[in-house]
Chains A and B, each alone.
Chain A
Amino acid sequence: MFSKYGAGLALLALAGCAAAKADKPRTAAASGPKVPAPWTTDPYPSTYRPYPGVPTLITGVTILDGEGGRIDNGQVLFADGKVVAVGQSVAAPAGATTIDGRGRWVTPGIIDIHSHLGDYPTPSIEAHSDGNEATSPTTPEVWAEHSVWPQDPGFSRALANGGVTTLQILPGSANLMGGRSVVVKNVYARTQQGMKFPGAPYGLKMACGENPKRVYGSKGREPSTRMGNIAVDRMTWAKAAEYKRRWDGYERGDGKGDPPGRDIAMDTLAGVLDGKILVQNHCYRTDEMANVIDMSKEFGYHVSAFHHGVEAYKIADLLKANNICAAVWADWYGFKMEAYDGIPENLAILQKAGACATIHSDDENGIQRLNQEVAKAQAAGRRAGIAIPDEVAWEWLAINPARALGIADRVGSLKPGKMADVVLWNGNPFSVYTRPDMVWIDGALLYDAHDPKRRPVSDFELGQKGEGDVK
């Protein structure tokens, strides 16, 4: 019940995002010093560098590869930060560290497509409320990364208890257009740039429904209704389309004339219209998701994922037809009117319909148990007659969120060549009795349940009671 003290914050924090590929900045044309379209630039680039690892072979282990494959009593080899081989038996280089994985399971690191670690960090005090720029219903100019506090103790819990290796940090959902998201590797750094997933597309967080209309309606401003939500969205998209037309014309003009005026907000929206920034859309109800789909067609963009789609199961066919992922909880429901119809079979019904489904947390506690959330959703499906094998259910934690984030070529499965983000579980990760034993990110061992020195402690917790304790 005391969680209710934070309820307002939590509800506001509900957000959704998808990322589009942020291409390299266009360079000036040979003919002249043309200014690149501003949404194609990368002014706050990642400085993340993988930590060193050693060639590691895990043997005798149950493998879920994250994209539908399963090998019992198999072997996984990774080296130089990359997955090298996965199979019943793989050839390992001499000197590789070998781990006997008998009785244990190995999976790709979990990807949480919806987190507010860093921008709503703990302790959840007023000074840390950095997720909603709730001063205007559309703030595509703000970037979540500029709020991210890299010392959030939550990152360590997500790693050690949850096996989370990649997460998308989103602005909250007070606003219709909340700003850009950022995708990070779950590796502590001194700066947010030091955590940023290299080359991951940005997302634009959008929100339907109760939050924007409540926040702005209570201020006596538009939007105060759902129709107001869509109206403000459309007016803003129309401006963005015009902005992009001006820039496209400038770009076509071979550098002649002055570049159009710069609008930081419109940059983000133009990036969406250009397909470079992925829309991650907080949206609960079927009617609102359908309205957003039509709006996206009206203005020529694509929704990467509907987040918090507690009613997604009702329109699984529509989502599949439009190639939109649903990022959902396992069993959250009823905590607000637009969540009234949530059911535990949501993920299973989406899966049965062939739609892209992913689990998400939106919560600093839930992110520590996403594997358990998937297990519950899988079991609910089984009871409803929808049998989903473990190796397929794990896609909800791995390749599906990777796709919705535009990073599936680098993470989301144990395919050779991908980043060696690997979790060794001390048992079946669909069991409540299982926890991560070891977690590697880009091949570097960053958590080991048996080694207190491989247990990260954020600056905030240093020198305070419980420093270095198991959490």
Chain B
Amino acid sequence: MKAFLLAAAALLAIPAAAQTIAFTGGTVAIGDGSAPAPGTVVIRDGRVVAAGPNVAVPAGARQVDATGKWVAAGMVAGWTSEGIVDGEGISETYDARARTSPFNAAVDVLVAVNPDSPVIAVDRAGGVTRALVAPEPGNSIFAGQGAVIDLGADAAAVTRAKAFQFVELGENSAGLAGGSRPAAYALLHDALAQAQDYRRNPAGFDGRTRDALLKRSDAAALLPVLDGRIPLVVHVERRSDILQVLDLRRQYPQVKLVLLGATEGWMVAREIAAARVPVLAAALADLPAAFESVGATESNAGRLEAAGVTVGLATVDISAQGGQRILKQFAGNLVAIAKVPGHTGLDWGHAFAAITSGPAAALGMDGEIGSLRPGRRADVVVWDGDPLELASAPVGVWIDGVEQPLANRQTKLRDRYLTPQEGALPKAYER
């Protein structure tokens, strides 16, 4: 099953660009934490060849003049429902959660991803080129398997299927597991034990009856997690919850943990760094939104980074009703607070990395996406100014080396209503 899906995904994801393009004259933001600098970016056949100050333009390359502009890695949105939800209040389009399904870990968002979602077109025009697409827990602490997609205007969205398994172990886990955190941990340990039972003796594994605590397919979905072949993203916020999760490595040494949220991560930043666990951090959460996040501060990401933790930003714990394009604003704010006494922010290069290579690195995919380092997929955004600044906007977007359309419902509504009054015909005739 899995092999089939991966093969299908690979077939769909072949980049169409057999072309060499050189972006010249601009300020280059690579996305690997380095500072932006004048330079050239060369891409070929959908991959980055080189980026930086001393990069030569290959003969025959198509040149894109970026003078006065910025040439930057596309944003990688760290935790989204891109393509599986068109509007969170439009339940008919909501494929992120399955409250009454008998399945949990086996749920795979892949089949729901709709590259034609208007949300994708808007975020693409906002400079987002890849996204982690995650299920939400519905009936269990296990939410299921997420994917990494591109935001290209084509039918082939999937970069990596089954890119991670997601489990809730924070305050919400209590309700999902029957009423308490201890119950959530009992469920977690029992599920992982059952998965091992299933591995040892698939034929003898129950898991088919209605009241089975773990279905066969759920057990099967947890095996690659136990083996460390698929990262386990864990949502926790509270210091004590984070330490409990880090402690899981003693019992499950192969499991590749990723923390999501981690509002109080700064309080145990050294422990997280020592455990080499990356964090998809709540970008600007600074309120005690729940009792699990009483210690929230905008300095969280900066303090984690300073301790050596790999950080990607995500729109968890904070409203992002304007879409994932807001990530650049969040990153910019982390630069801003570096000037405020007492705060720990990020320098520009690391703030930008937190919305490009950071989320990719959290899943071990930074060799493939998230920066303009050689060999990465050629996701390039040309901005009319500093990408983190509020006034800046993309003027060109390439995904897998393919130039993308930037028009979307919003630009068309804007053009139709720039003058609100009707003209010779009703507005319905203007387009």
Q: List residues of chain A with CB under 8 Å of any chain B CB.
A: 1-7, 10-11, 122-125, 153-154, 157, 161, 210, 313-317, 329-337, 339-345, 349, 353, 363-366, 368-369, 372, 375-376, 378-379, 382-385, 426, 430-435, 449-450, 452, 460-461, 464-466, 469-471
Contacts and interface: CB of A to CB of B under 8 A. Distances in A.
Contact of B391 (A316, A375, A471): A375
A430 B295 contact: no
Contact of A384 (B290, B388, B418): B418
Contacts of B244: none
Given A153-B287, A383-B393, A333 B96 contact: no
Interface SS of chain A: helix, strand, loop or mixed? loop
Given A315-B420, A375-B391, A470-B342, A331 B322 contact: yes
Residue from the set B264, B289, B337 with the largest chain A CB neighbour count within 10 Å = B289
B332 A432 contact: yes
A334 B118 contact: yes
B336 interface: yes
14 contacts: A3-B316, A4-B81, A7-B88, A332-B321, A342-B410, A364-B287, A375-B391, A376-B390, A383-B393, A432-B390, A433-B332, A433-B339, A469-B342, A470-B297
A464 B264 CA distance: 12
Nearest to A316: B420
Interface string B336-362: 110111110000000000000000000
Contact of A372 (B172, B290, B390, B418): B390
B287 A1 contact: no
A154 B86 CA distance: 30
Contacts of B296: 466, 471
A365 B410 CA distance: 24
Contacts of A343: 410, 413-414, 417
B288 A122 contact: yes
B136 A449 contact: no
Contacts of A2: 79, 136, 235, 260-261, 316-317
A10 B321 CA distance: 11
Nearest to B314: A1
Interface in B86-110: 86-90, 96-97
Interface string B309-330: 0000011111111110110010
Contacts of A434: 336
B418 A1 contact: no
A467 to B, nearest CB: 9
Nearest to A319: B420
Contacts of A364: 287, 289
Given A122-B289, A432-B333, A329 B321 contact: yes
B289 A336 contact: no
A157 B286 contact: yes
B177 interface: no
A379 B325 CA distance: 15
B239 A336 contact: no
B319 A10 contact: yes
Contact of B417 (A313, A332, A334, A376): A313
Contacts of B389: 431-433
Contacts of A372: 329, 333, 390
B391 A363 contact: no
B90 A336 contact: yes
Given A1-B136, A372-B390, A470-B299, A450 B261 contact: no
Contacts of A10: 319
5 interchain residue pairs of minimum CB distance: A336-B89, A432-B332, A331-B322, A466-B295, A379-B391
B315 A1 contact: yes
Given A384-B418, A465-B267, A124 B89 contact: no
Contact of A369 (B261, B333, B339, B340): B333
Given A1-B79, A426-B339, A470-B298, A335 B333 contact: no
A382 B288 CA distance: 37
A466 B294 contact: yes
B291 interface: yes
A368 B299 CA distance: 15
Contacts of B427: 314
A430 B87 CA distance: 29
Interface in B355-394: 388-393
A395 B290 CA distance: 34
A466 B319 CA distance: 22
B232 interface: no
A372 B288 CA distance: 23
Given A3-B317, A372-B390, A470-B299, A125 B291 contact: yes
Given A6-B289, A334-B321, A431-B389, 4 more contacts: A3-B318, A315-B420, A336-B90, A368-B286
B149 interface: no
Nearest to A375: B390
A89 B45 CA distance: 61
A407 B169 CA distance: 48
B80 interface: yes
A335 B89 contact: yes
Contacts of B325: 331
B235 A435 contact: no
B393 to A, nearest CB: 6
B335 interface: yes
Contacts of A314: 417, 420, 427
A343 B315 CA distance: 20
Contacts of B393: 379, 383
Contact of A332 (B288, B317, B322, B391): B322
Contact of A432 (B86, B336, B340): B336
B46 to A, nearest CB: 29
Contacts of B320: 3
B234 interface: no
Contact of A363 (B285, B291, B319, B413): B319
Interface string B184-223: 0000000000000000000000000000000000000000
B422 to A, nearest CB: 10
Contacts of B291: 123, 125
Given A314-B420, A470-B340, A123 B290 contact: yes
B301 interface: no
Given A122-B289, A379-B390, A333 B322 contact: yes
Interface string B383-416: 0000011111100000000000000011001100
Given A4-B88, A317-B420, A461 B294 contact: yes
B156 interface: no
A365 B290 contact: no
Contacts of B341: 449-450, 470
A464 B297 CA distance: 13
B421 interface: yes
A433 B289 contact: no
A332 B122 CA distance: 12
Given A337-B87, A470-B340, A3 B319 contact: yes
B339 to A, nearest CB: 6
B316 A1 contact: yes
Nearest to B291: A123
A122 B263 CA distance: 15
B272 interface: no
Contacts of B75: none
Contacts of B239: 465
Nearest to B172: A5
Contacts of B73: none
Contacts of B388: 432
B284 interface: yes
Contacts of B417: 313-314, 343, 349
Nearest to B119: A334
A435 B420 contact: no
A364 B96 CA distance: 25
Residue from the set A124, A353, A364, A433 with the largest chain B CB neighbour count within 10 Å = A433
B336 A433 contact: yes
Contacts of A432: 329, 332-333, 335-336, 388-390
A369 B326 CA distance: 12
A337 B96 contact: no
